Amino acid sequence: MKKYDVIINHKGIIDLEVIDDILLKLKNYLHENKIELVIRKRVYTLAVESLDNIYKHADHSIHIQKIISEFPPRFIVEKICDDFVIHTGNIILESNKEKIISKLERINTLSQEEIIQLYKKSLSHAEISDKGGAGLGLIVMAKTTAQKIKYDFDKINDKFFYFAMQLTIKK
């Protein structure tokens, strides 16, 4: 098996069809390369939750199509030795930036045990939005990676930012 591999390198709109294609490709790779079951499922979990986040939360309205063509959503999965690294990117509205930062900062200060407690508490209080999200995606990501979530925001203009996130699964 290669020490370094790019398993998925997607740049462009992320819709349900694209998500299914990516997940199938990822599942096949993990299976064919006989990746350990726990790691396989963690990588898959992170992929589902992060693709879902892009699909449900990216601020994709029709009038920003020009910006999307310049700053397309991205989803990359790399294998580096025994680790897996997922990179995501999507446009967000400036007005949502602070909310995302405060969620991520809060999660990044918690220990793994505290994240599990937060997950349990959030599950019992979660409500499913019209988009079908439970608001648990970031908590599940933190619980699954067991690493701090790296992220960044690049300013596109006064209204939009490009939100990039990096998640790692260590063996």
Partner 1 sequence: MKTINIASTEKSPKVFFDPRKHVFEMEGNSRPENVRDFYYPIIDTLRDYFEDIAEKQTRSETNNAFNFNFKLEYFNSASAKFISDILVIIRNGYDKGINMKVNWYFDEGDDDMKEVGEDFSEMISFPFSFIMVKR
Among 31, 120, 155, 171, binds partner 1 (CB under 8 A): 120
Among 64, 71, 76, 137, binds partner 1 (CB under 8 A): 137
CB 8 within 8 A of CB 26: yes
- 167 belongs to the binding site for partner 1 (CB under 8 A): no
- 32 belongs to the binding site for partner 1 (CB under 8 A): no
Minimum separation from the CB atom of position 103 to partner 1 (A): 14
- Residue 98 or 127 with smaller CB distance to partner 1: 127
- 62 belongs to the binding site for partner 1 (CB under 8 A): no
- Residue 27 or 156 with smaller CB distance to partner 1: 27
Lookup result for tokens 């996130």: 165
What gap in Å lies between CA 17 and CA 161, rounded to an integer?
Answer: 25
Residue 105, amino acid: E
What gap in Å lies between CA 12 and CA 111, rounded to an integer?
Answer: 35
Lookup result for tokens 């991205």: 74
- Residue 106 or 120 with smaller CB distance to partner 1: 120
Name 4's bridge partners.
Answer: 80
Among 13, 83, 97, 119, binds partner 1 (CB under 8 A): 119
Minimum separation from the CB atom of position 70 to partner 1 (A): 29
Among 18, 67, 85, 126, binds partner 1 (CB under 8 A): 126
Name 163's bridge partners.
Answer: 90, 153
What gap in Å lies between CA 119 and CA 110, rounded to an integer?
Answer: 12
